[in-house]
């Protein structure tokens, strides 16, 4: 026969598991499902967030090569800078979307306290 303290711990752990599953199910019911189009749109956003700064960097570099010629290529320099900036923008965008789609336990607790304050 198990001691009462062990049964109480097991019951508390079970209650926590049930509560966690209930929170996840309620959250899934509240949030709308994301379709295939959302995924394709995400690819587009990531692509444009890299392409636009890269092209702007190349255009700036071409202009600087014409106006201020140097022993190095302004075009290549600003192309790489634009590419790095675009990759950072894409990384922040994807990280933000991932955080929204898969919140950590800490994020969920913050959202729950905000919802409780709103009520």
Q: Where are the domains of the chain?
A: 1-31, 33-102
pTM to 2 decimal places: 0.59
Rounded to 10 degrees, what is the CA torsion of 70, 75, 76, 81? 110
* Helix axis angle, 4-30 to 105-118, nearest 10°: 70
Structure tokens at 53: 């700064």
Q: Which tens digit of pLDDT belongs to each residue from 10-68?
A: 667 888 888 888 887 777 777 666 677 777 777 788 889 999 999 999 999 999 999 99
Helix locations, the chain, DSSP H: 4-30, 36-67, 74-101, 105-118
Q: Which tens digit of pLDDT belongs to each residue from 60-110?
A: 999 999 999 999 999 999 999 999 999 999 999 888 888 877 777 666 666
């Amino acid at each position: 026969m198990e001691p009462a303290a062990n049964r109480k711990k097991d019951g508390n752990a079970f209650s926590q598991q049930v509560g966690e599953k209930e929170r996840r199910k309620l959250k899934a019911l509240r949030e709308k499902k994301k379709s295939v189009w959302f995924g394709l749109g995400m690819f587009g956003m990531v692509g444009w967030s890299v392409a636009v700064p890269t092209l702007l960097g190349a255009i700036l570099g071409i202009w600087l090569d014409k106006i201020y010629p140097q022993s190095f290529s302004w075009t290549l320099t600003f192309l790489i800078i634009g590419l790095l900036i675009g990759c950072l923008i894409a990384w922040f965008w994807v990280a933000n979307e991932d955080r929204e789609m898969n919140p950590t336990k800490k994020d969920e607790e913050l959202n729950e306290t905000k919802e409780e304050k709103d009520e």
